[in-house]
């Protein structure tokens, strides 16, 4: 083990701990702010206040409208098509779901011995697709897979 890793890793762990403490502090502050906001909104409405200048800042009541599917995607898509909202309808794939599926296929390729132990994720994925969905094998290049490494910290024993 190289001697230069120890001071760097100690500094990394210290920063990790400071970040965790800062996140906990921030979380507590955000919770307190949300509690105050719940109390303030009805007071703004009751007193008819549009905005109020206080301590060099302007506090105001902001209103925003949100919409979501009331009964699932299918009825919403049907409604949007009939109401001129076709441009909002998009076919897409959720990135985390896609990554999870690719991890399963790569694991499957290794578990079934379709590739050598040191095979790249791309080769393992291609082998799994060729084995389970041969018609899709020619299109596997549409999927990009890569590995990302990071240093993580957990509490020691």
Per-residue pLDDT reduced to its tens digit, 107-144: 999 999 999 999 999 999 999 999 999 999 899 889 99
pTM value > 0.75? no
**Cα 103 to Cα 101: distance, rounded to the nearest angstrom:** 5
Higher-scoring residue by pLDDT: 35, 154: 35
pLDDT score of 1: 66
**Sequence ranges of the domains in the chain:** 5-53, 95-142
For 141, the token pair is: 């290049």
pLDDT tens column, 74-120? 999 999 999 899 999 998 889 999 999 999 999 999 999 999 999 99
Closest CA to 124 of 150, 103, 96: 103
pLDDT tens column, 27-84? 999 999 999 999 999 999 999 998 999 999 999 999 899 899 999 999 999 999 998 9
Tell me the β-bridge partners of 33. none
User: How many CA atoms lie within 13 Å of 50's alpha carbon, on the beta-carbon side?
Assistant: 0
Share of the chain above pLDDT 70, in %: 99
**Cα 75 to Cα 139: distance, rounded to the nearest angstrom:** 32
pLDDT score of 156: 82
pLDDT score of 122: 92
Q: pLDDT tier at 9 (50, 70, 90 boundaries)?
A: very high
E strand or H helix at 52: strand 51-54
């Amino acid at each position: 083990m190289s001697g230069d890793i120890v001071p760097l890793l100690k500094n990394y762990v210290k920063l990790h701990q400071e970040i965790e403490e800062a996140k906990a502090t921030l979380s507590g502050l955000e919770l307190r702010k949300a509690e105050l906001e719940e109390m303030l909104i009805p007071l703004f409405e009751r007193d008819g206040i549009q905005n109020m200048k206080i301590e060099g800042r302007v506090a105001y009541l902001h209103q925003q409208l949100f919409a979501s599917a009331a009964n699932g995607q299918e009825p919403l898509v049907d409604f949007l098509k009939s109401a001129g909202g076709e441009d909002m309808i998009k076919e897409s794939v959720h990135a985390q779901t896609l990554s999870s599926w690719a991890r399963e296929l790569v694991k499957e390729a290794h578990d079934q011995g379709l590739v050598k132990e040191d095979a790249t994720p791309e080769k393992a994925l291609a082998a799994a697709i060729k084995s389970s969905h041969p018609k899709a094998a020619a299109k596997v290049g549409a999927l990009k897979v890569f590995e990302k490494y990071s240093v993580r910290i957990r509490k020691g024993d």
